[in-house]
């Protein structure tokens, strides 16, 4: 409360008005589809609505848990209702509909209306499985297990979970990007930012009463042992070579992960049962020595695309950057640390050795990360100079600059979409403002605020308090404009993959307003301005006759059409007809895509139909692999534009160097 009341970019005291927003946010986060709380429930729970600040200040949080307890009890009640509803097979000859999205719907006025919602959801669950070809007995068994699992998860909720939900609601009432991380969430966040962990190198999930292995990280102790397999179920964990084995059957996955992770060089023993699909194979004990494991599939990926016909096509390097990661802890400790700018620099050096003609920097779906890394990346492509302006709560403006020479001064195309946010927008805006790159794609997310991570253990000289991610400043382009709400507009627009009215900063009710500051001193290279119109013309000509581009646009249109449906029919004949029509459309698109990507090759693939199962109910498959995008026509077009840029710049005798 002290930190948010004093040091937030827009500090606010947790008075009655803000308390009300916290309460509303908590209710919304617990029940976003408005199928748990009735209007009467919310009114009854509102006795704490305006006193959240008082109770938190007094340390008297028990009354504030009433919405959470009501939510958990209602989940168990719903599970019991759903199981009871399985006794009679539904009637699919009626013309009822199921609402796909109830976020804006009015809350049920009574328990009767609430139960009616639950009933049609059970009916939809049954119908999806029926259309997937399952018999009634199998459907009943699957759904019974699903609903009983829902109740079991509710019963496993801890006070720490409830406390985190409450403080998340408080933090996010300040602005959409302020957040509270409990200890477990903080560890996960730091793992994602550093792309590393100390453990055995395995991804886990909850599966029935077990924790199940879903993937093994290459180079990790688990895969190196050869004794732990995807699908294995963990039943007990022991520390060291002789510590007692702790039975973890029925435990939550995050608690099991806490036991398995530990310092590099230490030993952990794991008792496993093989995957059910391997028959009645006996369980066994696996002893592993933990080590520092790098999560490579979430790092920068580099590849080369050959563009153009003839014996000597142009070579375009592609850098797919999924996030702006940085190992904060290793950096603070003064040791060698990993970061996205270091990885990109290494790839650029390889590209130069390979004599690529241009680079595509793919920032699509990159939600941001370290501000310092955005500045460092700007330097890799522009050299020394301003990258971003940061204004704090007192109005002070800091122009953050990159130093050192550029590693790549050749043709550069930056790809963005609506999911490119924060640090991605900083980098794209800098490269655009300095005339360094052609930005292509969609208008970006529009997040123009800066967050800092506060370790609450350090602040309070205690343990187990977690971390606060707090908005402390707003960033601006070097030309003085903001990306807050407005995002970065591409120089050349590609088809929209996300609806701007449903996704982006502008969809948050409490997003901070946009503003502007004076421009920083910088020099914009003119050479792209000389060829911009030609790049647009060549792009228009190319995509106008590109069959793969046409199919990709049709797929986006078809997917948006399906996503925009507000309801689906619960009539078997109507739903089956709609499903078959969707499948025909998607299979036709799939065949055309395959024919274009692999001409002459027989298409044995089919579009995967809805199987009616949840992700946790599906069997674990083979290990995840980083999907390549060479069959992506949007990426291919960006590479073709980099080739255009290379050819055109060679023909323009401006001799301009970036500085």
The catalytic residues are: 422, 433, 447
Q: Which of 381, 344, 387 is nearest to 366 (CA)?
A: 344
What is the rounded CA–CA span in Å between residue 366 and residue 335? 27
- Scored b (16 or more CB within 10 A) or e, 501-523 reads eeebbeeeeebbebeebeebebe
Between CA 212 and CA 616 the distance in angstroms is: 10
Conformational region of residue 634, where left means phi above 0, alpha means psi within -120 to 50, and beta covers everything else: alpha
Q: Which two tokens stand for residue 319?
A: 């850098």
Q: Which among 628, 633, 491 has a CA at the least distance from the CA of 556?
A: 633
Buried b / exposed e along 152-190 (16+ C-beta atoms within 10 A): eebeebeeebbbbbbbbbbbbbbbbbbbbbbbbbbbebb
Report the C-alpha gap between 133 and 610 in whole angstroms: 11
Q: What is the DSSP string of 589-624?
A: HHHHHHHHHSTT------PPPP-S--GGGSPP-SPP
Q: What is the distance, to the nearest Å, from the Cα of residue 295 to the centroid of all Cα atoms in its chain?
A: 16
d(CA 245, CA 24): 44
> Residues with Cβ < 8 Å from 561, sequence gap 6 or more?
none
| Full DSSP string of 570-595 | --HHHHHHHHHHHHHHHHHHHHHHHH
Question: Does residue 105 contact residue 566 with C-beta atoms inside 8 Å?
Answer: no
**Do 123 and 571 contact (CB within 8 A), yes or no?**
no
Q: CA 503, CA 607: separation in Å to the nearest integer? A: 27
If we measure between CA atoms, which residue out of 387, 503, 389 comes closest to residue 443?
503
């Amino acid at each position: 409360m002290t930190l948010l009341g004093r040091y937030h970019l827009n500090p606010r005291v947790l008075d009655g008005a803000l308390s009300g927003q916290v309460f509303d946010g908590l209710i919304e986060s617990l029940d976003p589809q408005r199928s748990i709380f009735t209007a009467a429930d919310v009114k009854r729970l509102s006795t704490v609505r305006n006193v959240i600040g008082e109770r938190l200040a007094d340390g008297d949080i028990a009354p504030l848990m009433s919405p959470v307890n009501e939510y958990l009890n209602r989940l168990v009640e719903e599970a019991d209702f759903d199981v009871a509803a399985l006794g009679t097979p539904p009637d699919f000859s009626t013309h009822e509909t199921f609402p796909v999205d109830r976020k804006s719907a009015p809350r049920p006025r009574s328990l009767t209306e609430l139960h009616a919602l639950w009933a049609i959801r059970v009916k939809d669950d049954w119908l999806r499985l029926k259309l997937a070809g399952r018999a009634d007995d199998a459907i009943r068994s699957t759904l019974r297990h699903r609903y009983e699992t829902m109740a079991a998860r509710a019963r496993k909720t801890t006070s720490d979970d409830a406390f985190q939900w409450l403080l998340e609601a408080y933090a996010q009432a300040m602005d959409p990007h302020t957040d509270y991380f409990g200890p477990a969430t903080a560890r996960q966040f730091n793992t994602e930012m550093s792309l590393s962990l100390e453990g055995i190198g395995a991804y886990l999930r909850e599966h029935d009463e077990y924790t199940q292995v879903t993937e093994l990280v290459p180079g990790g102790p688990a895969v190196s042992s050869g004794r732990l397999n995807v699908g294995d179920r963990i039943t007990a964990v022991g520390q060291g070579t002789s510590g007692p084995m702790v039975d973890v059957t029925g435990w939550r996955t995050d608690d099991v992960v806490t036991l398995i992770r530990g310092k590099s060089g230490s030993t952990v023993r794991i008792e496993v049962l093989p995957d059910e699909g391997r028959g009645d194979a006996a369980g066994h004990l696996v002893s592993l020595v933990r080590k520092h494991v790098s999560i490579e599939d979430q790092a920068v990926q580099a590849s080369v695309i050959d563009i153009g016909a003839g014996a000597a096509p142009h070579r375009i390097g592609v850098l797919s950057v999924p996030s702006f990661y940085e190992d904060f802890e290793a950096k603070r400790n003064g040791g060698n640390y990993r970061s996205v700018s270091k990885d990109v620099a290494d790839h650029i050096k390889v590209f130069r050795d390979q004599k690529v003609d241009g680079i595509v920097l793919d920032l699509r779906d990159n939600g941001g990360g370290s501000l310092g890394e955005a500045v460092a990346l700007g330097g890799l492509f522009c050299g020394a100079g301003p990258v971003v302006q940061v204004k704090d709560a007192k109005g002070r403006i800091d122009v953050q600059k990159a130093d050192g020479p550029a590693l790549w001064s050749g043709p550069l195309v930056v790809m963005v979409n609506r999911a490119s946010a924060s640090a991605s927008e900083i980098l794209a805006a800098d490269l655009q403002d300095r005339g360094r790159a052609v930005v292509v794609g969609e208008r970006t997310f529009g997040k123009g605020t800066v967050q800092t991570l506060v370790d609450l253990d350090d602040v309070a000289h205690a343990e187990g308090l977690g971390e606060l991610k707090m908005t402390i400043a707003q960033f601006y382009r070097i030309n003085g404009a903001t990306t807050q709400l407005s995002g970065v507009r591409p120089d050349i627009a590609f088809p929209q993959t996300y609806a701007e009215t449903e996704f982006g900063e502008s969809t948050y009710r409490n997003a901070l307003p946009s503003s502007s500051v004076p421009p920083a001193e910088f020099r914009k290279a003119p050479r792209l301005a000389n060829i911009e119109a030609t790049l647009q013309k060549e792009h228009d000509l190319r995509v106008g006759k590109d069959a793969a581009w046409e199919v990709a646009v049709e797929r986006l249109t078809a997917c948006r059409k399906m996503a925009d449906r507000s309801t689906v029919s619960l009539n078997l004949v109507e739903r089956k007809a709609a499903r078959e029509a969707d499948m025909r459309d998607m299979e036709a698109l799939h065949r055309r895509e395959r024919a274009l990507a692999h001409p002459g090759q027989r298409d044995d693939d089919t579009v995967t139909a809805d199987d009616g199962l949840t992700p946790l109910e599906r069997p674990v498959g083979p290990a995840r692999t980083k999907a390549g995008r060479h069959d992506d026509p949007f990426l291919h077009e960006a590479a073709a534009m980099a080739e255009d840029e290379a050819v055109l710049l060679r023909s323009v005798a401006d001799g301009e160097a970036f500085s």
